[in-house]
Structure 1
C-alpha cells in the first residue's frame, strides 16, 4: 500500500497525462498512467488502484463507458471523471451512475489532490469494513474484533484454552472486554450448550454475597421463605465467570478456594454438599500481587487461579485496531437508529488514534456511537483521555507524526530500516517513536 494512495490516471492527451502524473507523484501518490482507454481493465487488475481518474472525452472509448464497466465489475473502486466541456447534465448523469466526483478542466491541482485524498480514504475504509465483516463472519473470533498481532495471538490462545477444560484467569484493564473473552472461552468449549453465568464480585454487597453465590436453604435467615439456588448451581454443566475477583470479600475467598478444589458447594443454612460440574473463569483489572501484599487477597487462591492466564492488551498498545473498532461500533449504532453509515475519513482516524483511551474499548464504543448519531464531531480528543488534538501544537505534531509513520511503514511493508530511510530519520529514532506511539505491534518485520 502506498503512503497516499495508488492512482490509475487515464487521458488520451499525452502532455496532460504526463503533467498530471508528475504532479500527483510529487504530491505522494503512486501513479499508473494510461493513454489508451482500452487497456484500463488490464491495468486495474495489475495495479489494484485506490482510485481511477479518467477523462470523459476520449476517442474510441469515453470515460462514461469506463465508469459503467468499473462500477459493474468493481463497485467499491471510486472513479473521478474529468472534462473540459463543463457539461452539467453529463456531470449529473455521471454521479447518478456511481462516479465518486467530477472535475472540470482546467482543474486546480490542489483541488484534485483533495478529491483524491477523500476517494482514497473512502476506498481504504471500505476495505477495512470488508475485512471486519470477514472477521466477524468467520465465526472463530468470538466477536473479539481486532487484526493487530497482539489480538491475533490472543485469539489463538483463547482457541487453544477453550478446548481444554481448565480454569482461566483473565487480566485486563477496565473496558478491555474481559467478559467477552470469558464468553469466547465458553462458546468455544465442549460446555457451549451449558449455561454461562456472570458474577460481578464488586457489585454484590458483602451481606448477601454468600447467598447469591452459593444459594440458601429455606429459613436460613429472615425472609428466606424458600430454598434458592446460587450462581454456582445455575452454572452447573457450563461456565461461571467471576469478574473483578480482587473485590471478593476476604471472608469468602476461602470458600471459593474450596469450591475450586472440591467442585462442590453448600447452600447457606444447609449442611448438604452439592456437586457442581463447572468451569471457573475469573477476571481481575490488574495483577493480584499488590492485593496479596496488602492482605486483601489470599495467596493460595491466587495460585489456584493463576495456573493459566489470558492477558488482554489495552487499546493504547494496539492502536492499529482503533479505526476498525470505531468503524464497527459507529456502523452498528447507525443501523440501530436508522441512520446512514457515517463517513470516517483519514482525519478522523488520525484523531482517534492519537488518544490514549483509558476506558479502552468501552470508551471508544461510546464515542463511536455518539459520532454515528451526530452528537460528536470529533473536533478534539476524548476529554477523558486528556488529549487535545487540534487545540495544542504538541498534539497536532504527534498526530502528524503518527500519520507519516503509518504511511511509511505501509509503503515499506512494515520494514523498519526502509521506513526510516524513507522518513529521513535514524532507525533508532523510528523505533523510539514506534514504541512511544503504541505502533510497535503492527509493524517491524526486520
Structure 2
C-alpha cells in the first residue's frame, strides 16, 4: 500500500475521500489543519499529500501555499474551493504537483493520484540507485563506461557475502580502491580495513598471525 496524507478541515470530505482512497488500496492518514499536516509529515513522511489550501488556523489560501514546501520531496496535490487561474499558477509555482478545484471529480482524482504515486515511486527508485552507487564512487571508483558500471555492480553483489575475494590486476590499476569499495559496501564497513603490502613482508615473518584481521 502507498501512504497518503489527506489534509482537509471538512469532516464530510475527510470521511468520503479517505474511505474512497482506502478502497483503492492506499494507506491514508487524515488531519484537519495546516499545523497538524506539517507535524504529521515531519513524524512520518507520506508518499503523497492531498492538501486543502484554506484550512485552520489561518483559513487563507496564501497560508496554504506556504505549506507546500514542507512536504518535499512528496508530490502535493492541491484541492481548494477557491479555484481561480492565478491561485493555480501560484500553487504550481510553489511546488504543487497538480491543482484540483472542489468539488473534486473522483475519476479525475483517481487519475491524478495514480500519476503522482507513479512519480513518487520513480523518485524513490532513482534515489535508491544513486545511494547504491555512492558507496563505490566515494572510494574513487568513478566513471560511466560499461566496464566501470559492471565493476560497481559486481562489488554491490559480492560485498554483502562472507566469501573471500581475490582482486587481480597489474600494478597501478586500483586494486586497493576496489578492496576499499568492497569493504565500504559490506556489513563490516564499521570495522577496520587493514591494507598489507605483501611485497614488503620479510620472508621470515609468520603471515599466519595476520589471519585474525
TM-score category (smaller protein): 0.5 to 0.7
Of residues 6, 22, 25, the one that matches 2:22 is 25
Is this contact kept in 2: 1:67–1:79, CA < 8 A? no
Pick closer, same or farther for the CA change 1:161–1:27 going to 2, 3 Å: same
Say whether 1:10 aligns with 2:7.
yes
Is the radius of gyration larger for structure 1 or structure 2? 1
Greater CA deviation, 14-23 or 127-136? 127-136
How far apart, CA to CA, are the structure 1 residues paired with 2:71 and 2:33? 20
Unaligned runs of 5+ in 1: 167-182, 191-446
Of residues 90, 93, 111, the one that matches 1:93 is 90
Of residues 19, 31, 36, the one that matches 1:34 is 31
Say whether 1:106 aligns with 2:96.
no
Pick closer, same or farther for the CA change 1:186–1:156 going to 2, 3 Å: farther
Pick closer, same or farther for the CA change 1:143–1:186 going to 2, 3 Å: farther
How far apart, CA to CA, are the structure 1 residues paired with 2:174 and 2:123? 27
Of residues 34, 43, 46, the one that matches 2:43 is 46
Say whether 1:57 aligns with 2:54.
yes
Say whether 1:154 aligns with 2:158.
yes
Deviations 1:186-226 (A, max 9, x none): 85159xxxxxxxxxxxxxxxxxxxxxxxxxxxxxxxxxxxx
Is this contact kept in 2: 1:159–1:185, CA < 8 A? no
How far apart, CA to CA, are the structure 2 residues paired with 1:125 and 1:29? 17
Deviations 1:262-311 (A, max 9, x none): xxxxxxxxxxxxxxxxxxxxxxxxxxxxxxxxxxxxxxxxxxxxxxxxxx
Shift of 1:64: 4.5
- Give 1:389-408 correspondences, 5 Å limit: none
> Counterpart of 1:53 in 2: which secondary structure?
strand
Is this contact kept in 1: 2:9–2:55, CA < 8 A? yes
Is this contact kept in 1: 2:88–2:99, CA < 8 A? yes
Give the number of equivalent residue pairs.
Answer: 166
How far apart, CA to CA, are the structure 1 residues paired with 2:162 and 2:175? 6
Deviations 1:133-159 (A, max 9, x none): 22222226864566xxx9844344699
> Counterpart of 2:99 in 1: which secondary structure?
strand
Unaligned runs of 5+ in 2: 142-147, 181-213
Partner residue, 1:384: none
Shift of 1:90: 0.3
Partner residue, 2:128: 131
How far apart, CA to CA, are the structure 1 residues paired with 2:163 and 2:125? 24
Partner residue, 1:68: 66
Shift of 1:70: 4.0
Name the Cα RMSD after superposition. Answer: 3.2
How far apart, CA to CA, are the structure 1 residues paired with 2:163 and 2:83? 59
Deviations 1:408-441 (A, max 9, x none): xxxxxxxxxxxxxxxxxxxxxxxxxxxxxxxxxx
Deviations 1:57-85 (A, max 9, x none): 224234543443442x4531211111123
Normalized against structure 2, the TM-score is what? 0.65
Is this contact kept in 1: 2:68–2:94, CA < 8 A? no
How far apart, CA to CA, are the structure 1 residues paired with 2:63 and 2:175? 52
Partner residue, 2:208: none
Is this contact kept in 1: 2:49–2:77, CA < 8 A? yes
Partner residue, 1:231: none
Partner residue, 2:178: 188
Deviations 1:378-402 (A, max 9, x none): xxxxxxxxxxxxxxxxxxxxxxxxx
> Counterpart of 1:12 in 2: which secondary structure?
coil
Is this contact kept in 2: 1:17–1:33, CA < 8 A? yes
